[in-house]
Structure 1
Amino acid sequence: MTKSQLWNIPKDYDQVTIAGEAEATRDQAVALLKLYNNRLPIKATPEQLVEMYYNEAGKEGIRWDLAFCQALLETGFFHFGGTVVPAQNNFCGLGTTSSQVRGAYFATPDLGVRAHIQHLMAYSTSRKPSTPIVDPRYQLVYDGKVRNGFFDRWSQLNGKWATGSNYAEKIMNIHEQMKSLITVSGADWPKETR
């Protein structure tokens, strides 16, 4: 059995890029989050949170749908329960290096989303963020990538962003769940919000 069969993900999942256009819609992202958690312990609704990812990642050319899936994985669909607590607005485990280290804190959900997208940029592109840097580890990761090479695919984050060799596979599995949802409205939100 191949990894793609085991994880229910596309055969070419290891070629999926961090940057690029989304394949899922905002309606699908909201529906998936509400399926697992309808009452977020942060100061944002599911719709607002998805919109934050859509706008922030869109400004930077990062795939918002996969970044959001990464946040769903890192936060346990925003139930938290691990080292990071909701008040941190840290949706990607930023700076959490052990069960004793909580990692970075951000004043608002918007800033937490921005830091997440900036951290993905630090790993994946030599281009600097278009907004003021709020990711406290951005420069450290960016400098390392300048020296050793950037990662442009999600599969390259295995064992790097978080421990474990199936990190990207877990994100892709969540993404496949998201894309499989048929939303009630049948239409996505207007793209003019960016």
Structure 2
Amino acid sequence: MGLKKNKLKIWLELGLAILLVTVIGIGSNSGVFDRKIEKKKTEQASSKEALKKAEQENSAAKTGNDSKTEEDKSKEEQTEEVIAQGQYPIMGKSPVTVEQLVTYFKSSGETYPSKELQKGGAGSIETFCQMYYDEAVAEEVRPEVAFVQTMKETGWLQYGGDASIEQFNFAGLGTTGGGVAGESFADVRTGIRAQIQHLKAYATGDALNQECVDDRYEYVTKGCAPYVEWLGQRENPGGYGWATAERYGYSIVDMISKLKASR
């Protein structure tokens, strides 16, 4: 009888031990689950916070970029003003019109050589100026730069130097003095195009937009004279330039100022 009671006691204690272990296990697992849930909530909160922070940073960055863009624009405008005041770019858009080119020529008092230039396709000063404008715009050269250079080089289309009007060479391309006549071209437009392409070669290393008709284009150090003032070798920082005459480019700029004032 005593033996049975001892066995029963042992089984009861064993059962209580198993029950206790089970309860503890459940409690522990519950704690693990709670911690996992809490961890997940924390991660979600952190993720939301990070996303919010990222959005704020992006917004700030965008605002900063916008401000920087405005600042850059302001600086660019200031730079353009400085260039306009001190150095006249060969390349770029221009407000000068064909009518102004015509008016400027007529203000010289010289007679347009219609008979000679008619043979090359430009029987009137209006046609001549339109060609200059179109060819210059095609190569992104300022029309007034090329046109005024021609007036300077040819003495308002009266010539008298080494080149003759029949060559349709409007800027002394290839003339080196001592009676060297320089280049000749098939017609007025080709001569104008060659001059403008030569100017572009001095101003920039950008490729030509039209087929090259300037036989001397390859000999120019590209981009050595982006400003009209630098076309004179004496004033060019690298000693390059279109002509050796003192203040050659500056005299062209002075003429351009008068052209722009003409109406």
TM-score by length of structure 1 reads: 0.80
| Counterpart AA for 2:137 | G
Q: 3-state DSSP class of the match of 2:107?
A: helix
Q: Of 141, 163, 168, which residue of structure 2 is paired with 1:84?
A: 163
| Counterpart AA for 1:28 | Q
Offset, 1:12: 5.6
**Farther off after superposition, 165-174 or 70-79:** 165-174
Equivalent residue, structure 2, for 1:188: none
- Does the 8 Å contact 2:229/2:253 carry over to 1? no
* 1:161-180 alignment, distance < 5 Å: 161-180=242-261
Distance 1:83 1:16, change over 3 A: same
Equivalent residue, structure 2, for 1:26: 98
Tell me the alpha carbon deviations over residues 86-130 of structure 1, each in whole angstroms, 9 at most, x when there is no partner: 001001110111131110000100000000011011111111212
Q: Unpaired segments of 5 or more residues in structure 1?
A: 1-10, 183-194
- Does the 8 Å contact 1:89/1:106 carry over to 2? yes
Equivalent residue, structure 1, for 2:117: 42
- Does the 8 Å contact 2:229/2:250 carry over to 1? yes
Distance 2:85 2:125 in 1: 27
Distance 2:126 2:178 in 1: 30
Q: 3-state DSSP class of the match of 1:42?
A: helix
1:101 aligns with 2:171: no
* 1:7-26 alignment, distance < 5 Å: 14-26=86-98
Distance 1:164 1:13, change over 3 A: farther
1:126 aligns with 2:225: no
Distance 1:113 1:151 in 2: 19
Equivalent residue, structure 2, for 1:181: 262
| Counterpart AA for 2:89 | T
Equivalent residue, structure 2, for 1:152: 226
Instruction: Please state which structure has a larger fraction of its residues in helix.
Output: 2
Tell me the alpha carbon deviations over residues 124-180 of structure 1, each in whole angstroms, 9 at most, x when there is no partner: 111121211111100111xx33xxx53211111112201112111211121122112
Q: Which has the higher contact order (CA 8 A, sep 6+)?
A: 1
Distance 1:118 1:12 in 2: 23
RMSD: 1.9
Distance 1:23 1:70 in 2: 18
Moved segments of 4+, more than 3 Å: 11-14
Distance 1:13 1:93, change over 3 A: farther
Q: 3-state DSSP class of the match of 2:117?
A: coil
Offset, 1:21: 1.8
| Counterpart AA for 2:243 | A
Distance 2:144 2:160 in 1: 23
Q: Max radius of gyration: which structure?
A: 2
1:74 aligns with 2:153: yes
Offset, 1:23: 3.7
Distance 2:183 2:105 in 1: 23
Identity over the aligned pairs, expressed in percent? Answer: 36
- Does the 8 Å contact 2:146/2:196 carry over to 1? yes
Tell me the alpha carbon deviations over residues 44-63 of structure 1, each in whole angstroms, 9 at most, x when there is no partner: 21111111111111011100
Distance 2:85 2:160 in 1: 29
| Counterpart AA for 2:227 | R
Q: Unpaired segments of 5 or more residues in structure 2?
A: 1-82, 234-240
Distance 1:14 1:82, change over 3 A: farther
Distance 1:52 1:60, change over 3 A: same
Q: 3-state DSSP class of the match of 2:213?
A: coil
